[in-house]
A and B are shown apart, each in its own frame.
Chain A
Amino acid sequence: MTEAPAAENGKPNKRGKGPLGRAKRKRVGVRIDMTPMVDVAFLLLIFFMVTTVFRRPLAMEVNMPEPGAKVEVPESNVLTVYIDRDEQLFAKVGKADPEPVTWDDLAPSFAAGVAANPDLIILVKISREARYEPMVDMMDLLEDAHMERFSLIPMKEADEQALEQFR
């Protein structure tokens, strides 16, 4: 307590030096006002609470026709896309022979097909041994190409055999 008067204003003076010459500092109680920080913290908390949207699963909508509904379409208006059991793509228009195609070719060929024939209908035949993913890819592609009406059917044995010769 002897050096208390010397360090009263927080500045050590020469008389306040210890035996080793180091300045002895009188500690000053520092009070930091926490209120603005807490304000900001609450503001952020409330902001994130209000704006948070939990990730909800997404889906594609499917509208199927009535079972048994039959639509007669001339074969020349049909663009058939085959997805075989190895998930290779084949396409044909009308009665032409199926030709191997790639995913990249499909969108332009849909666009070209519709430009040539506005009544074009797309028929997608998928092998039962293929996976589900190419079906969703195909639906996505058709939706992108604004072809909301298409048929999707599993391939029959005859189709599988017919495709063999065009590989």
Chain B
Amino acid sequence: MTPMVDVAFLLLIFFMSTTQFKPPEQVAVQLPLSRSEIHVPETGTIILTVNRTGQMFISSESGRDIQELAPDNVLDAIVNWRGRNPSAVVVVKGDRDAPFGTMADLMDALAEAKTLRFNLMTDLRRRQPPGSGSGPAAQTPRDGQ
């Protein structure tokens, strides 16, 4: 049995040392909740992050190439990134406390960049549908702006 245990440990150590964990997120985002259960593709995504103060960032799914966007070059950046990877899925990762005005401008920029299909990243809301109890707003704790 010793050789088998040797091999097992070898494999264990190999996988332990080669595993790369997801890098810690550079931008802290508390996602809004929804009942949608569509998964974001693992690769080939362009992630537009908006934090709670409304700062915008663009990155790929790994987050290593993250760069901050000024409000007036959002459109250029989206066009540029879409040009480099035309089949990429655009995912908007907005903080639940981000100002709606910023998000509206971002969505306008996406529409202008001919990105009419995109995803809004959300966390799963594991509760009953509204109407049979309290509505969405009543269930999500409001931490003031």
Contacts and interface: CB of A to CB of B under 8 A. Distances in A.
A136 B136 CA distance: 10
Given A61-B38, A134-B100, 4 more contacts: A57-B31, A130-B100, A132-B32, A135-B103
Given A59-B36, A106-B130, A136 B96 contact: yes
B59 to A, nearest CB: 14
B120 interface: yes
Interface string B3-19: 01100100000000000
Interface string B29-49: 001111111111010000000
Q: Which of A58, A66, A137: most chain B Cβ within 10 A? A: A58
A129 B101 contact: yes
Nearest to B96: A133
Contacts of A63: 116-117
Point out which of B97, B104, B124 has the most chain A C-beta atoms below 10 A from its C-beta.
B104
A133 B32 contact: yes
A132 B95 contact: yes
Contacts of B34: 58, 60, 136-137, 139-140, 143
B122 A136 contact: yes
A128 B104 CA distance: 8
Contacts, number: 157
A60 B116 contact: no
B96 A144 contact: no
A133 B140 contact: yes
A40 to B, nearest CB: 14
Contact of A131 (B1, B98, B111, B116): B98
A64 interface: yes
B71 interface: no
A64 B137 contact: no
B131 to A, nearest CB: 4
Given A35-B1, A59-B38, A137-B32, A108 B131 contact: yes
A7 B5 CA distance: 37
Contacts of A104: 130-131, 134-135, 138
B58 interface: no
23 contacts: A42-B8, A56-B42, A59-B36, A59-B119, A60-B36, A60-B38, A64-B116, A67-B111, A103-B134, A103-B136, A104-B130, A104-B131, A104-B134, A128-B100, A129-B100, A131-B100, A132-B99, A133-B140, A135-B103, A137-B33, A140-B122, A141-B135, A141-B136
Interface string A25-63: 000000000110010001000000000000011111111
